[in-house]
């Protein structure tokens, strides 16, 4: 119980309500506000912008990251969901998924589809928005001006709602990072409409360790424990020359990492001596990482001749050998960081062409199986400066586009593949189906049975019980079924 006195002398005795119980209390009191009048589309828009919307029934609509995609999740707050409420969600356009043995509910991120689903859910459950949480204003109040922006590595399973409210989202984060490279006080005409150029301090946590090439970055402030790769990657972010203004970066260590650098890098004391950066050890780590990734593709079955068949065989290994795809993705990303830290290095000269081969394979695989994340076969922002330079020098992008074309799932798709070899044909169909179903499943639950059927086909293929013509026939049949559902979804209702 609390006592308060207001300016006009009145005194009140009341009970303090916790944030956890606020939504339910307001609902019981039938308290209405501007927030309570939010439409379904307004709620979806707010969540997509990084805010968390608490509903009157205790649910929280929040932005989460699942399988490298932004989703809008209905967080039940640990409450039991009745069968009736579960039906109300799915019948309204909500999506049920089992992820890691846990049942979770989502709504589409698209403002129209998601907004319509949200409106229907509110109508069926008799709920409305109560509180909208956004942390950006609070952060600016504490740290000062528009010169400060938080860039957070999204981990909604671990982050509090206050932290999640600071999430920028993919588009806004890219815009921020691009404009951060512009000098804050630039007076050029083309820079005046770039508001994020004024950002001078980025507050990050486990973010921008790779793929962020910003020579303009002057100083790095460390206030947490970092070890091994994370420490090396972090230091590399600030140690890039910038014209005549900057020959090296400045690291301000508030945690004390450099007092015990040997331990932080997990090297023997005599390996470092008086040198802060153990270059030979990093070079050796590059060699070891390279050999681990290189060995995923036995040279007796995957010749390094740059041929179409060799890359098809390599991609089949990634899809068919359990765990190889994950090893390759993680290994190549680590290799790319080490390559950036070491180059130019005369002792790595013999690794340049093999690294280019792995880079080409990585580009092709991402393009074929994740076209929504990799729009074209070319260097991306994720590639650091030295890798982008290597791509320009050693990889003919136009030739790759011609040899590994981009397909569209239409009535001509299977016809375009009729002259391909069986392995290449099966790989192209599987890649197309994987990408299409992953994209559509986020917005339409009717694609789930098709996605499950594709997974069964892949499982049988990996088990060796489905191959050759029988495999292609199964994939072709599923392709027609997916195309039919896609076409039906496009028709106006």
Half-sphere exposure of 367 (CA within 13 A, CB side): 21
Helix (H) or strand (E) holding 201: strand 201-205
DSSP 344: S
Please list, in sequence order, all residues whose beta carbon lies within 8 angstroms of the beta carbon of residue 335, skipping any fewer than 6 positions away: 286, 289, 290, 293, 355, 358
SS3 440: helix
Asked if 435 and 373 touch (Cβ cutoff 8 Å), the reply is no
Q: What is the pLDDT of residues 163-179, one digit of tens each?
A: 777 788 788 888 888 88
Which domains does the chain possess? 19-132 (no CATH), 138-272 (3.40.50.300), 279-403 (no CATH), 413-490 (no CATH)
CA distance linking residue 124 with residue 146, whole number of Å: 42
Centroid of chain to Cα 117: 25
The CA distance from 172 to 214, in Å, is: 17
pLDDT value for 320: 86
Q: How far apart are CA 91 and CA 117, in angstroms?
A: 9
- Average pLDDT of every residue of the chain: 78
Residue 295 has pLDDT above 90, yes or no: yes
- Between CA 255 and CA 158 the distance in angstroms is 23
Give the single-character DSSP code of 17: P
Which H, E and C letters describe 104-137, residue by residue?
EEEECCCHHHHHHHHHHHHHHHCCCEEEEECCHH
Q: Is the pLDDT of residue 257 over 50?
A: yes
Please list, residue by residue across 342-353, b when 16 or more beta carbons sit within 10 angstroms of its beta carbon and e when fewer do: bbeeeebeebee
Which of 395, 389, 354, 390 has the alpha carbon at shortest distance from 377? 395
Confirm whether pTM is higher than 0.75.
no
pLDDT band at 308 (very low <50, low <70, confident <90, very high): confident
Read off φ and ψ for residue 71, nearest 5 degrees: -130, 160
Q: How many helices (H) and strands (E) does the chain have?
A: 20, 12
Q: Can you point out the beta strands (E) in 330-397? A: none
Better-predicted residue by pLDDT, 98 or 296? 296
Per-residue model confidence (pLDDT) at position 28: 57
Report the distance separating Cα 293 and Cα 331, nearest Å. Answer: 6
Could you tell me what percent of the chain has a pLDDT over 70? 78
Torsion of CA 179, 185, 188, 193, to 10 degrees: 50
Is 10 buried (19+), middle (13-18) or exposed (0-12) by CB count in 10 A?
A: exposed
Per-residue model confidence as pLDDT tens digits over 416-443: 888 888 888 888 888 888 888 887 776 7
Q: Which residue has the higher pLDDT, 253 or 113?
A: 113
pLDDT at 491 over 60: yes
331 Cβ partners below 8 Å, 6+ apart?
Answer: 289, 292, 293, 296
**DSSP 3-state assignment of 151?**
strand
**320 contacts: CB under 8 Å, gap ≥ 6:** 461, 462
Give 36's DSSP letter: G
pLDDT digits (tens, 9 = 90+) for 133-171: 754 544 454 455 566 777 777 777 877 666 777 788 788
């Amino acid at each position: 119980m609390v006592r308060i006195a207001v300016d006009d002398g009145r005194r009140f005795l009341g009970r303090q309500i916790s944030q956890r119980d606020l939504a339910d209390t307001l609902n019981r009191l039938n308290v209405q506000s501007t927030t309570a009048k939010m439409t379904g589309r307004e709620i979806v828009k707010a969540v997509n912008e990084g805010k968390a919307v608490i509903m009157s029934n205790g649910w929280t609509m929040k932005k989460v990251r699942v399988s490298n995609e932004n989703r809008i999740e209905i967080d039940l707050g640990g409450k039991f969901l009745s069968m009736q409420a579960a039906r109300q969600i799915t019948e309204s356009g909500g999506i049920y998924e089992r992820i890691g043995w846990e049942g979770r509910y989502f709504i589409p991120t698209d403002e129209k589809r998601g907004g319509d689903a949200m409106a229907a859910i509110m109508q069926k459950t008799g709920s409305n928005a109560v509180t909208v949480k956004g942390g950006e204003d609070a952060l600016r109040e504490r740290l000062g001006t528009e010169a400060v922006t938080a860039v957070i590595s999204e981990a909604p399973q671990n982050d509090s709602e206050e932290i999640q409210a600071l999430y920028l989202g993919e588009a806004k984060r890219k815009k921020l990072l691009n404009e951060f490279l512009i000098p804050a006080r630039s007076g050029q005409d083309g820079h005046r409409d770039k508001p994020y150029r004024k950002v001078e301090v980025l507050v990050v946590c486990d973010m921008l360790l790779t793929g962020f090439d910003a020579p303009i970055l002057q100083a790095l402030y460390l206030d947490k424990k970092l070890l091994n790769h994370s420490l090396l990657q972090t230091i590399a972010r600030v140690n890039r020359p910038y014209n005549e203004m900057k020959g090296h970066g400045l690291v301000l260590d508030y945690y004390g990492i450099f007092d015990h650098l040997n331990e932080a890098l997990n090297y023997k004391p005599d390996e470092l001596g008086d040198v802060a950066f153990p270059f030979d050890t990093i070079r050796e780590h590059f060699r070891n990482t390279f050999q681990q990734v290189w060995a995923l593709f036995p040279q007796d079955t995957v010749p390094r001749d740059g041929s179409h068949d060799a890359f098809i065989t390599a991609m089949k290994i990634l899809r068919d050998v359990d765990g190889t795809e994950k090893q390759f993705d993680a290994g190549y990303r680590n290799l790319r960081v080490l390559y950036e830290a070491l180059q130019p290095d005369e002792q790595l000269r013999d690794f340049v062409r093999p690294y280019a081969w792995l880079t080409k394979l990585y580009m092709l695989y991402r393009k074929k199986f994740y076209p929504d994340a990799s729009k074209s076969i070319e260097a991306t922002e994720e590639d650091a400066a030295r890798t982008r330079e290597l791509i320009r020098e050693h990889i003919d992008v136009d030739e790759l586009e011609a040899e590994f074309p981009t397909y569209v799932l239409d009535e001509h798709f299977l016809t375009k593949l009729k002259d391909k070899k069986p392995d290449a044909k099966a790989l192209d169909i599987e890649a197309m189906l994987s990408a299409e179903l992953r994209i559509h499943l986020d917005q339409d639950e009717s694609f789930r049975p098709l996605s499950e059927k594709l997974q069964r086909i892949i499982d049988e293929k990996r088990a060796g019980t489905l191959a050759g013509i029988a495999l292609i026939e199964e994939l072709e049949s599923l392709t027609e079924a997916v195309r039919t559902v896609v076409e039906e979804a496009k028709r106006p209702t």
